Structure formats: structure tokens, C-alpha cells
């Protein structure tokens, strides 16, 4: 049933309540399209003409979309592009040498790179599993930004602004597209800094729901107030039935307001969320085969959970997979950090593909900047790399991304972008385009100005798009 018709299918809110009781249907058994307007307000106000309505109804983006869901894997700490996806074979000869303007010595990556898949995507040996799904991946080797400091750079990556408090990518996406999940929040954060889920000046409905999710956390505590420590489901059901009946009486007197109806719906949704969310976050319900495909650890649990959420219509899942700040002991540490995400990320891609969800699910992996080609002192077992924001990398997969390719190039030392640079604003513009938006037109009026994710910047990188 299409939601455009929902306001006509039943004459008044009141009779809808009666209808539900008469037919013995629970609200949950109604089709999504008829349910959501009731829950979220069919006639949400708009901030300014031409902007999306302030509700969570699923809606078509203005342009043809390739992706419907996003899983953003934030590799916080800034992964070394030189040891992950930006192979620099020519650098080998310069190992241990000094260079003008560089302190310490040049340190070629100690890892072997493999040209993987039909596209020959260069992937470091620290990602043996990702090497097998290279044909799904578009590796961007020409990312660049201005700020080599974690805090502001991460903020820039998540919100498009390093300084001001702006809405994050996920909030913009939810604002633009609404959600398809009737009983889960549309934007869920599985760890990460606050700016990775903040709605800032967008209405609170677009904020990423904070969770306490990890491999062994109790499912009932994943969301605050998710379950009651005082009353049973049966008691709550009886409570809600009573309240709905009382609210009907109240409605008769007040005679108004879609908000009142929406609030009734929100209690039903909350009631169902208790079971829906505990189910969605319960990865022990996966088969042993699936669980072992993702492997052990928290990142694996998060990515598996992300798949379960996307499957249930959640629009945007933010996943924390950090620990990349390898100033020292890079060789041993980066192997460990990479291993935590390698198998589960590859499994996620394969899993989504098997389930037919990869085409509509955009996966993004990347950190806030890259790392230096030089290492302080000489090359030792303890060597590490420092912060570097002029060049770094990320990868995208699924959701309309042209896989099996590498985009952009850096110079022979991996220091500067020399071809097809992609600023974070450009990445944002491209992500929004994949979701069906012109990034210059997805705006929100606040304090007298139309704001957008990309501010005054951003170019769509069309070659990333299939």
C-alpha cells in the first residue's frame, strides 16, 4: 500500500482505532505505509518550502537513487594509506633515505600488495579477506583534507565541518530519506564519537540512536529504557490498550491534531521496539556458519548487527572500527587493527550480496586522514607513522558503487594527490548522489540560512558511481 494514500484510506483517526479493534489487528500487523504516517505524523511541517518534511516517513529522493541504506565503518585514528590501499612500489628504493622537508627517513610499506580481482585493485596483505572481494570495492586513493588532528578531522568527516556543530552524514540521510523501519530507529550508531550521530540543528528525530552494543553486551540494554525492569509485556499491553481507549476519549474532546495521533502510534512502536530491537541486536540468532564467516570480536559483531539492522529497514548504521593511530609499532599494531575489520567487512559484503542487499546498501570504510611517508629516527621494529591529511584513502562498496576500481592517485611517495583528488566534501557529495540527492539541494533552513552537508563545497565524483 502506498503511503501517499494513507490519509484517505480511513476517514478519521478515531475510526482507525476502532477499525483496529474491530478487526483484531495489532498496529504492528498493518502495512508499513499505513503505519508510519500515524507514528511519525503524516503532515510534518517543513523548515522551508521545498525542503523535506520533518517526519520519518520513507520518501523518494529527487534523483534516481542507487543506494537505500548506508553502513559507515569509521576507521578512527587515521589508517596509514601507505600500508593499506595505496601501494607505492617505487618507494622501495628510497627506504631509509632522507628527503628535503621530511624529518626522519622515508619508510616504504613493509607489507606486500596484491593486485586483486578483475580490476587489479591493490590491497595490502594485511587484508587477506578483502582481497577476495576486491571486485565489489572502489578504493579511493586520493582523499584529502586540511586538518591532521583527530578531533576536528573526524568532525569534518562526519559532519562536513571541523569547527561548528553541524548535523552528521547519517542525520542528513535520515532527514532526506526517512526510514523504512517501522519498529527500529532509522539511524543507529554502533559506537563512535558523538559527532558521528549528532543531529545538531536538525530535529532530534534525525539523531543517531546511541547504543551500548558489543559482542557480549546484554541485548536488553542496547538502547536506554529498551525494556522494563518493573512490568511484564502482558502488563504493558494492557496498559497501552487502556491508554489508547482513554486517548480516544481525549481526542473526542480536543478534536485535533495529527500530533496526538502520532503520539499514540509512538507508544505502539515503542512497545514493539522492545521485542524488535532485542531481536535485531541479538546476533546469537545468526547461524553458526554466518557467525564464523564474520569471525570473532567486537567489530565483527557490529558489522553482523549492521547487516541485521539494514535488513530490517534501518536507513543508516554508523559503525566504530577504530584504533588506527599507529605512531609507533605500526607493523604489529596495524596487522591487528586490520585483522579486526578485514574478515567481517569482507563477510559483510559477501553476506549482503547473497541476500540481494548489496546493490542497495552502500558501505563506506575510511578514517579521518592518512599517515606520513617518513618515520622519525630510523626504520626499526617500533617505527610508526605520524598524521598526514594531504593524502589518504577510503573504500566504498555496494549501493551503486562501481567496484573493482581504484580512483585517484598520489605521487610516488604517497604524499600529495596528483590525480582526481577527492576531498571529504566531494565524498559527501558522491554519497548523497548515490542516495538520490543533489548535495546542493538537500538543505535545511536554520537561523535564517539554508544549510547543507557540503556547505559551499563538494563535487560529485562520477567515476565512483557505477
Q: Does 101 bind other proteins (CB under 8 A)?
A: no
Q: Provide the mask over 160-199, with x wherever binding to other proteins is found by CB under 8 A and - wherever it is not.
A: ---xxx-----------------x-x--------x---xx
Min CB(135)–other proteins separation in Å: 27
For the chain, the three-class secondary structure string (H helix, E strand, C coil) is CCHHHHHHHCCCHHHHHHHHHHHCCCHHHCCHHHHHHHHHCCCCCECCCCCCECCCCCCCCCCCCCCCEEEEEECCCCCCHHHHCCCCHHHHHHCCCCCCCCCCEECCCCCCEEEECCCCEEEECCCHHHHCCHHHEEEEEEEECCCCCHHHHHHHHHHCCCCCCCCCHHHHHHHHHCCCCCCCCCEEEECCCHHHCCCCCCCHHHCCEECCCCCCCCHHHCCCCCCCCCCCHHHHHHHHHHHHHHHHHHHHHHCCCHHHHHHHHHHHHHHHHHHHHHHHCCHHHCCHHHHHHHCCCHHHHHHHHHHHHHHCCCCEEEEECCCCCCCCCHHHHHHHHHHHHHHHHHHHHHHHHHCCCHHHEEEEEECCCEECCEECCCCCCCCCCCEECCCEEEEEEECCECCCEEECEECCCCCCEEECCEEHHHHHHHHHHHCCCCCCCCCEEECCEEECCCCCCCCCCHHHEC
Min CB(423)–other proteins separation in Å: 10
Which residue has 596509514 as its cell numbers? Answer: 80
Q: Does 201 bind other proteins (CB under 8 A)?
A: yes
Pick from 84, 274, 337, 372 the residue near other proteins by CB under 8 A. 274
Pick from 100, 204, 289, 356 the residue near other proteins by CB under 8 A. 204
Q: Which is nearer to other proteins, 38 or 298 (CB)?
A: 38
Judged by CB under 8 A, the stretch of 72-80, 93-101, 252-260, 299-307 that binds other proteins is 252-260
Number of residues that bind other proteins (CB under 8 A): 68
- From the list 297, 198, 315, the residue with the least C-alpha distance to 306 is 315
Min CB(184)–other proteins separation in Å: 9
Min CB(374)–other proteins separation in Å: 23
Min CB(348)–other proteins separation in Å: 27
Q: Does 210 bind other proteins (CB under 8 A)?
A: yes
Pick from 257, 292, 296, 466 the residue near other proteins by CB under 8 A. 257
Q: Which is nearer to other proteins, 24 or 356 (CB)?
A: 24
Q: Does 273 bind other proteins (CB under 8 A)?
A: yes
Min CB(260)–other proteins separation in Å: 5
Q: Which is nearer to other proteins, 136 or 195 (CB)?
A: 195
Min CB(95)–other proteins separation in Å: 29
Q: Provide the mask over 8-47, with x wherever binding to other proteins is found by CB under 8 A and - wherever it is not.
A: -------------------------------xxx------
Q: Which is nearer to other proteins, 8 or 230 (CB)?
A: 230
Question: 334: alpha, beta or left, given left = phi > 0 and alpha = psi -120 to 50?
Answer: alpha
Binding positions for other proteins, 228-247, rule CB under 8 A: 228-232, 234-236, 238-240, 242-243, 245-247
Q: Does 153 bind other proteins (CB under 8 A)?
A: no
Judged by CB under 8 A, the stretch of 64-72, 77-85, 118-126, 254-262 that binds other proteins is 254-262
φ, ψ at 306 (rounded to 5°): -55, -40
Q: Rule CB under 8 A: which residues touch other proteins?
A: 39-41, 54, 56, 151, 163-165, 183, 185, 194, 198-201, 203-205, 207, 209-210, 223-232, 234-236, 238-240, 242-243, 245-247, 249-251, 253-257, 259-260, 262-264, 266-267, 269-271, 273-274, 447-449, 459, 462
Amino acid at each position: 500500500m502506498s503511503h501517499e494514500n494513507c490519509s484517505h484510506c480511513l476517514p478519521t483517526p478515531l475510526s482507525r482505532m476502532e477499525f483496529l479493534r474491530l478487526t483484531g489487528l495489532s498496529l504492528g500487523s498493518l502495512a508499513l505505509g499505513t503505519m508510519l504516517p500515524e507514528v511519525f505524523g503524516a503532515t510534518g511541517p517543513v523548515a522551508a518550502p521545498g525542503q523535506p518534511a520533518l517526519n520519518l516517513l520513507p520518501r523518494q529522493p529527487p534523483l534516481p537513487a542507487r543506494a537505500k541504506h548506508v553502513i559507515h565503518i569509521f576507521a578512527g585514528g587515521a589508517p596509514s594509506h601507505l600500508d593499506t590501499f595505496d601501494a607505492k612500489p617505487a618507494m622501495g628504493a628510497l627506504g631509509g633515505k632522507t628527503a628535503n622537508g621530511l624529518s626522519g627517513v622515508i619508510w616504504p610499506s613493509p607489507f606486500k600488495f596484491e593486485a586483486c580481482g578483475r580490476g587489479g585493485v591493490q590491497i595490502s596483505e594485511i587484508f587477506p579477506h578483502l582481497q577476495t572481494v576486491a571486485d565489489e570495492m572502489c578504493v579511493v586513493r586520493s582523499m584529502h583534507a586540511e586538518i591532521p588532528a583527530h578531533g576536528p578531522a573526524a568532525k569534518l568527516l562526519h559532519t562536513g565541518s571541523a569547527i561548528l556543530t553541524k548535523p552528521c552524514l547519517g542525520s542528513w540521510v535520515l532527514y532526506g530519506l526517512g526510514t523504512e523501519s517501522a519498529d527500529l530507529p532509522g539511524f543507529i550508531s554502533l559506537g563512535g564519537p558523538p559527532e558521528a550521530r549528532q543531529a545538531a540543528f536538525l530535529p532530534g528525530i534525525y539523531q543517531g540512536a546511541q547504543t551500548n552494543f558489543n559482542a557480549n553486551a546484554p541485548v536488553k540494554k542496547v538502547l536506554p529504557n529498551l525494556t522494563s525492569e518493573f512490568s511484564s509485556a502482558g502488563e504493558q499491553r494492557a496498559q497501552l490498550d487502556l491508554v489508547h481507549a482513554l486517548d480516544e476519549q481525549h481526542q473526542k474532546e480536543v478534536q485535533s491534531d495529527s500530533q496526538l495521533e502520532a503520539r499514540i502510534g509512538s507508544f505502539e512502536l515503542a512497545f514493539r521496539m522492545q521485542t524488535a530491537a532485542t531481536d535485531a541486536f541479538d546476533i546469537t540468532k545468526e547461524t553458526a556458519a554466518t557467525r564464523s564467516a564474520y569471525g570473532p570480536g567486537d567489530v565483527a559483531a557490529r558489522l553482523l548487527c549492521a547487516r541485521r539492522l539494514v535488513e530490517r529497514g534501518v536507513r543508516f548504521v554508523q559503525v566504530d572500527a577504530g584504533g588506527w593511530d599507529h605512531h609507533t609499532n605500526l607493523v604489529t599494531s596495524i596487522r591487528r587493527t586490520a585483522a579486526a575489520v578485514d574478515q567481517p567487512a569482507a563477510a559483510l559484503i559477501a553476506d549482503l550480496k547473497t541476500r540481494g542487499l548489496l546493490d542497495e546498501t552502500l558501505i563506506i570504510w575510511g578514517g579521518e586522514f592518512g599517515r606520513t611517508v617518513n618515520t622519525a629516527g630510523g626504520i626499526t621494529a617500533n617505527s610508526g607513522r605520524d598524521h598526514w591529511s594531504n593524502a589518504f584513502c577510503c573504500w566504498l562498496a555496494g549501493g551503486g558503487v562501481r567496484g573493482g576500481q581504484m580512483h585517484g592517485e598520489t605521487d610516488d611517495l604517497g604524499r600529495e594527490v596528483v590525480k582526481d583528488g577527492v576531498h571529504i566534501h566531494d565524498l559527501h557529495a558522491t554519497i548523497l548522489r548515490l542516495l538520490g540527492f543533489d548535495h546542493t539541494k538537500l538543505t535545511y533552513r536554520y537561523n535564517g540560512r539554508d544549510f547543507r552537508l557540503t556547505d559551499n563545497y563538494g563535487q560529485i565524483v562520477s567515476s565512483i558511481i557505477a
